[in-house]
Amino acid sequence: KDLPASVKSASKLDKKPPKVEESLKELRAPPPRPREPLSVPKMPPSPSNSKIRSAGVPASSRSVVIQSKGVGKLEPHKSYVDYKAFYAGAKGRDDAPKNDADQVSRMVDKLLYEVPGDIEDDIMSAHEQSKPVYLTLKEELKADLNLPYNNFTMLVHGDGGGGELAGMVAAMHPEAMVLALCGTSVQCAVNATRHSEGSNILVGGLHGSVPKMLEEIDTGPGRLGVGFATYQYFTSLVDLCAGLLPYECENAVGNALLFSRVSFFPTELPASKYFAYWGEDPKKLLHPALEYVRRKFGVDVVKPAKVKGRLGAKGLLRVEVDVDMGNPPARKVPTGMEKGFGFELNFLLKVGLRDADLRVVYQAFVRRAVWEGFRVAAGAVDAEKEEEEEEEVFFAHNKIRGDHVQLTSTAADGKTEVPDIENLPNKIDMQEDERLVVERWHGFLKDEDLSGSVLISGSGGGMLGSKLAYEGGGKSVMVIMRSNDKMHSKRHVALNEFLGVNNLIICEGELNPKVASAIIDAGQGNLFDRHIATSDVVSGLVFDSINPDAYRDSPTCGARLDIFERELGRLFSLTGSGGSNYWLVPYGEEVAAGVRKLLMGECEDEVSSRLGEGLSGALALVARVFESSVEGKDKRKAEVMKSERAGAMIRIVPESGTGRDQKLPRVSLHNLLWLGIEKRRHKKRLARELLRGGGRLESAGDKTAAPWNIFFDGTAAGPDEGNDVQGVWASIHDQIARDLDEAEAEESPNFSFLQIGGAGVGDEVAKQYEGATVVSIMSDEGEAEVFVDNIIGEERWNHAVCTKETIGEVAKNLYESPELMRYSYWNGLGVYMGEVRREEFGRTLGGLFTSALTSFVAVPSDAEWSLVWKMLGSDLVAPYDGDDKTSWKLEKHPSEGFEGFDKMFLTMETEVKGGDTKVSIAKMTARGLVRVDVLNATRAVHHHYDFKKDGHKRTYTMHIGSTEEKLEEAPAASHRSGGRWARVWLTRDFDGHFIPYNEIKSLTLIALLRMGLAKSLRDHAYKEFIGMPLYEDMAPWNIVMTGKTFGYIDYDTKDKTFDAFIPHAYQILSVLMNYKRTVKDFDHCGDKASTAYGFGLVSDCVGSKFKGPCDDPARPVPCATKEGKCETDFISCLKAIAEEDIELEEGG
């Protein structure tokens, strides 16, 4: 009933709290008589939630001591100060480690933590200033659309916070399309695109003042909602009315109202003398503006409606335009939403887009022409209809559309019906956007040898890459460029997880000449083996080359197109010798049409001439590129795979080979950094892989751990314990042997060992120490089965493998129970990256720290943290100097400020639920291993492991105390631990009864079963249980696994067995039943007396006012004798009563 538990602390080293010292003095006294409770003073009340933090270290100790005293900040490690620039080329950054655990936690999260799909909290915290306004707008959108994320367009005016708001709307509503009119404000543009994925937000307003722009754009009633916005928001009226007389400002506001169906204005005018003309009420400005619209266009508008602000916002003014010329509309889906899926292309060109956005629109324009040609060939589009002139062309979500998409319909009762977003024909669907690419390319590529590293660039290649990666298995590693398709990145990650695809990495940077040069210059080992490119690659280079700002030293179109051809050649040369290219090359006439439409004809004739006409022009371009490019010596030949109306699929292979040479499936970290590896998931996964160890960061000869020397093969990560089981075990074995030698342990010592997250090290322990009790907890049942088969085959019954509970559940249940392991081994990084929720990481660590007297924890060394941060901690594309060789050697790390980072990682958030715990953390000889010893602890524990399932109420207090000297007279046996002597004991809360942990060598059966003991081992354990002697209380919490056997540990009943009595059980029950029948016939059988368990027959007939208590199981029946006493059974009770009656009669 009363057995060992978990850990919490009271310290002798600290001399605090004083009552702990008193407790230790009590323990030095002679041991009490058996079964007599020992009065141990209770520990001082502990806070319900305590954060572990660092404390002082004795001069003789090399370890760092951490403890919890209430809730407090982590005190800095003494060497963790004055951190300066922490990697080459990142000067002036403000995210270097500071002297607090919170900063360490943020750095680790930035490097490793995979942000969940819902990023609302992240965005809200980054834009506190715009948050109240956004929340107010969000409620309006929700009321209009009846859906939180639906298709609409929004125009945001002004740089006074307008960029922030536009970025929030775009990020939080991925189905929407947002245009931020930032003008020339760089900060506005940065804020607008900080959190959105780029595909649903544009930045414009570069063509002069807003009033002038409004005058130039046709905003008549017939144009409403066609290419303009469903909504617009005016951050401020300052830009709108700059340099205008008051009546001109009113007219400008009126014109602006016609840019959208619904407009929102601040409820306060800017604080300036100019706007004082209208007083403090913006309605005095809006009313003449609305009147101006009526007079000029005959359009009725509703009166401004006040919108209640949220979270401190002062509210907004909402104005709706009624294009039907009728009564003001009721609350319904705005008309603009019915007509425009995106922004009209002509409108975007007139407002003036920044170059980056104009490039995306241009690529989409060319891509549409090329893919529509393939759609016509496939019969998906009517060719004659396709050739019809389209008056209005729209852009949204990286696509050009020429059709009006109907999103709503009005029922007969006049109510607007909003369709389910899942059924909207124009919802942002990755399959819709990329299916054609799969259908057109896959048929040609499925029989190609795509072994090695494969780069897929341009729009629409994501699903193709997933399919090829899935089919290729381990023969290839795919790198998908999603610079123009970022809106699908999260969907793509989810798809790959669903398919079980590990050999695919997403990048989101630009494949431009600078990036190509960096990859090529790194050498043959960094080149790709295959390159699949869609039309975006060629059209993007054309756009860049004819942009005068890109090549100021080449003023003529011809000179800039010469550069285009050389740079196209470098992109072809991204594949090394023996590699292959598969390119979709758009025909010259389609590229020139895009130049004419979007770039006002700049270099149109030169583009048309240089790219040529049709297929012959495309082939001539490819041939010319290889002859004139800097990589021209790498001779290639071009083969036409498929030619359609607007472009051709061309296969480019080495002139002297087939392009089918088998390649190694690997890609360098250098390439991934330059290509802009996706940050939210894939970059963090690479960091995790590097920190897992396995010698990947070790320097070998001239090879340093530089990004160009580190390659990933795309396979899934191995078990948390890594590949070096023997190395880990050798280091742990040395520590255990030292403890045993110092304790003068017997030849075959008994101790318990717990491994979490694997079983390899545990198996070595079981082999070396047959008397040890080893328990391994694994998450993968398939891997566990391999160890189980081994255990059974070699009859290594001292090793139990469990697979049911998560790390978090194990840590919690161990902490709340009296279980305590002598040693444990687990991976700190594995806990962080495992099944534990991020917010439970610190408490899980606290539970694991206290689950064993000594824990061996695998954690990346401070040198590894430092080096990996240098590689991946920066937001820069390539945060390193290619000529800097020595700084990539592991022995050159940790850099300043990263000393002790491994310990800081383990303690940055570690906390325990109540109690007080103090541990030491010391580095071991093996890199990446630390030893954690519990020095002192006090905590409340319950009756057994996962007690809530059984409803047990009994509680205990666990104590661990340690000193430098062994106290021979202590009733609790001493355990040698890290150069100290530790003692462990329980006190039963209701009576103070003392229970020592004389040995720490077992684990209870209830814990094994609830941890998920493997079935084959459970069957063996059952046979062991059946073969045990019979004790009184053989509940699973009183049965323990000790080495290869099972034993009984109930402290009160372990000295007596019942094997001799059980064969007579039936006869004894027969005696009781028949005896009761006869007593009943004598009319001497009363009610049943109450006993602890209420067993039948034992206490029948003798119920009375005397209730005991009768706690001794040898005499459980209250018997109403003269003085009242406890008897063994009702027969003995009846006899005792009868004897008193006889004595009374004989005495007269």
| 429 vs 479, residue with greater confidence | 479
Range from 202-206, 320-324, 1057-1061 that averages highest in pLDDT: 1057-1061
| 527 vs 236, residue with greater confidence | 527
Counting beta carbons within 10 angstroms of the beta carbon of residue 1086, is it exposed (0 to 12), middle (13 to 18) or buried (19 or more)? Answer: middle
CB of 802 within 8 A of CB of 829?
no
Give the H or E element holding residue 640: strand 636-643
Smallest CA-to-CA distance from 203 within 223, 219, 222, 187 is with 187
242: CB partners within 8 A, 6+ apart:
209, 210, 211
Give the H or E element holding residue 266: strand 260-266
In this prediction, residue 30 carries a pLDDT of 34
pLDDT over 60 (residue 709):
yes
In this prediction, residue 43 carries a pLDDT of 29
Q: What is the mean pLDDT of the chain?
A: 74
Range from 262-266, 396-400, 1118-1122 that averages highest in pLDDT: 1118-1122
Q: Residue 63 — pLDDT band, cuts 50, 70, 90?
A: very low
pLDDT over 50 (residue 802):
yes
Query: Please, what's the b/e burial string for 339-369 (b: 16 or more CB within 10 A of its CB; e: otherwise)?
Result: bbbbbbbebbbebbbbeebbbbbbbbbbbbb
pLDDT over 70 (residue 1147):
yes
In this prediction, residue 56 carries a pLDDT of 32
Task: Give the distance, in angstroms, between the CA of residue 81 and the centroid of all CA atoms in the same chain.
Answer: 29
Q: For 629-651, what is the mean pLDDT?
A: 76
| 43 vs 347, residue with greater confidence | 347
Give the H or E element holding residue 109: helix 101-112
User: H-type helices in 258-334, by residue range?
Assistant: 283-297
Per DSSP, the three-state class of 443 is helix
CA distances, 501 to each of 288, 464, 474, 715 (Å): 61, 13, 10, 9
| List of E strands, 737-887 | 752-756, 773-777, 799-802, 821-827, 852-858
Lowest mean pLDDT among 155-159, 778-782, 993-997: 155-159
Cα dihedral 415→421→423→424 (10° resolution): 80
Range from 24-33, 559-568, 627-636 that averages highest in pLDDT: 559-568
CB of 450 within 8 A of CB of 472?
yes
Q: For 373-388, what is the mean pLDDT?
A: 52
Which tokens in the block code for residue 286? 């809006």
CB of 270 within 8 A of CB of 342?
no
pLDDT over 60 (residue 1096):
yes
| List of E strands, 560-608 | 575-586
722, amino acid identity: G
Angle at 29 between CA 26 and CA 32, to 5 degrees: 95
pLDDT digits (tens, 9 = 90+) for 302-342: 667 777 665 555 678 888 876 543 333 333 433 433 444 57
In this prediction, residue 18 carries a pLDDT of 31
CA distances, 1029 to each of 267, 1026, 1061 (Å): 84, 8, 12
In this prediction, residue 1134 carries a pLDDT of 95
pLDDT digits (tens, 9 = 90+) for 987-1043: 888 888 888 888 899 999 999 999 999 999 999 999 999 999 999 989 999 999 999
In this prediction, residue 852 carries a pLDDT of 93
pLDDT over 70 (residue 588):
yes
In this prediction, residue 200 carries a pLDDT of 82
Task: Give the distance, in angstroms, between the CA of residue 142 and the centroid of all CA atoms in the same chain.
Answer: 29
Residue length of the chain: 1148
CB of 871 within 8 A of CB of 690?
yes
The rounded distance, in Å, linking the Cα atoms of 477 and 714 is 6
Lowest mean pLDDT among 188-202, 346-360, 926-940: 188-202
Q: For 734-763, what is the mean pLDDT?
A: 86
pLDDT over 90 (residue 59):
no
Ramachandran area for residue 722 (φ above 0: left; ψ -120 to 50: alpha; else beta): left
The rounded distance, in Å, linking the Cα atoms of 456 and 435 is 15
pLDDT over 70 (residue 570):
yes
Smallest CA-to-CA distance from 433 within 385, 479, 482 is with 482
In this prediction, residue 1026 carries a pLDDT of 93
Q: Residue 60 — pLDDT band, cuts 50, 70, 90?
A: very low
CB of 435 within 8 A of CB of 532?
no
In this prediction, residue 413 carries a pLDDT of 39
CB of 572 within 8 A of CB of 493?
no
CB of 518 within 8 A of CB of 544?
no
Q: How many other CB atoms sit within 10 Å of the CB of residue 1037?
A: 24
Range from 133-137, 488-492, 943-947, 992-996 that averages highest in pLDDT: 943-947
The rounded distance, in Å, linking the Cα atoms of 1082 and 1080 is 5
The rounded distance, in Å, linking the Cα atoms of 218 and 782 is 68
Q: How many other CB atoms sit within 10 Å of the CB of residue 605?
A: 12
User: H-type helices in 378-429, by residue range?
Assistant: 383-387
CB of 531 within 8 A of CB of 581?
yes
Smallest CA-to-CA distance from 849 within 936, 774, 789 is with 936
Range from 43-52, 349-358, 907-916 that averages highest in pLDDT: 349-358
User: H-type helices in 156-195, by residue range?
Assistant: 162-172, 186-193
Counting beta carbons within 10 angstroms of the beta carbon of residue 723, is it exposed (0 to 12), middle (13 to 18) or buried (19 or more)? Answer: middle
Lowest mean pLDDT among 40-44, 111-115, 1024-1028, 1140-1144: 40-44
CB of 648 within 8 A of CB of 615?
yes
Lowest mean pLDDT among 97-111, 114-128, 722-736, 956-970: 114-128
Lowest mean pLDDT among 45-59, 222-236, 479-493: 45-59
User: H-type helices in 971-1064, by residue range?
Assistant: 1005-1011, 1015-1026
Peptide bond into 1113 cis (omega under 30): no
Q: For 408-430, what is the mean pLDDT?
A: 39
Task: Give the distance, in angstroms, between the CA of residue 599 and the centroid of all CA atoms in the same chain.
Answer: 43
Range from 127-136, 412-421, 491-500 that averages highest in pLDDT: 491-500
The rounded distance, in Å, linking the Cα atoms of 562 and 575 is 22
Parallel/antiparallel/unpaired status of strands 153-157 and 177-181: parallel
212, amino acid identity: K
pLDDT over 70 (residue 587):
yes
Q: Residue 715 — pLDDT band, cuts 50, 70, 90?
A: low
CB of 206 within 8 A of CB of 352?
yes
Q: Helix, strand, coil shares of the chain as percentages rounded to 5? A: 40, 20, 45
Angle at 686 between CA 681 and CA 689, to 5 degrees: 125
596, amino acid identity: R
Percent of the chain, pLDDT > 90?
Answer: 16
pLDDT over 50 (residue 34):
no
pLDDT over 50 (residue 600):
yes
Q: What are phi and psi of 1053, to 5 degrees?
A: -125, 10
The rounded distance, in Å, linking the Cα atoms of 675 and 479 is 9
Q: Residue 225 — pLDDT band, cuts 50, 70, 90?
A: very low
Parallel/antiparallel/unpaired status of strands 260-266 and 773-777: unpaired
Q: What is the largest CA-CA distance in the chain?
A: 139
In this prediction, residue 855 carries a pLDDT of 93
Q: How many other CB atoms sit within 10 Å of the CB of residue 825?
A: 26
In this prediction, residue 918 carries a pLDDT of 83
Q: For 1085-1106, what is the mean pLDDT?
A: 92
The 3-class SS string of 296-337 reads HHCCEECCCEEECCCCCCCCEEEEEEECCCCCCCCCCCCHHH
CA distances, 209 to each of 214, 241, 245, 351, 352 (Å): 9, 9, 15, 10, 11
Q: Residue 699 — pLDDT band, cuts 50, 70, 90?
A: low
The rounded distance, in Å, linking the Cα atoms of 348 and 367 is 18
The rounded distance, in Å, linking the Cα atoms of 724 and 9 is 34
The rounded distance, in Å, linking the Cα atoms of 400 and 21 is 78
The rounded distance, in Å, linking the Cα atoms of 241 and 251 is 10
Parallel/antiparallel/unpaired status of strands 343-344 and 394-396: antiparallel
The rounded distance, in Å, linking the Cα atoms of 520 and 573 is 8
Please compute Rg for the chain using Cα positions: 39
> Is the four-CA dihedral 588, 590, 592, 595 of positive or negative sign?
negative
In this prediction, residue 711 carries a pLDDT of 84
Smallest CA-to-CA distance from 144 within 304, 333, 309 is with 333
The rounded distance, in Å, linking the Cα atoms of 83 and 896 is 6
In this prediction, residue 964 carries a pLDDT of 73
Q: Residue 47 — pLDDT band, cuts 50, 70, 90?
A: very low
Q: Residue 743 — pLDDT band, cuts 50, 70, 90?
A: confident
In this prediction, residue 22 carries a pLDDT of 35
pLDDT over 70 (residue 866):
yes
Percent of the chain, pLDDT > 70?
Answer: 71
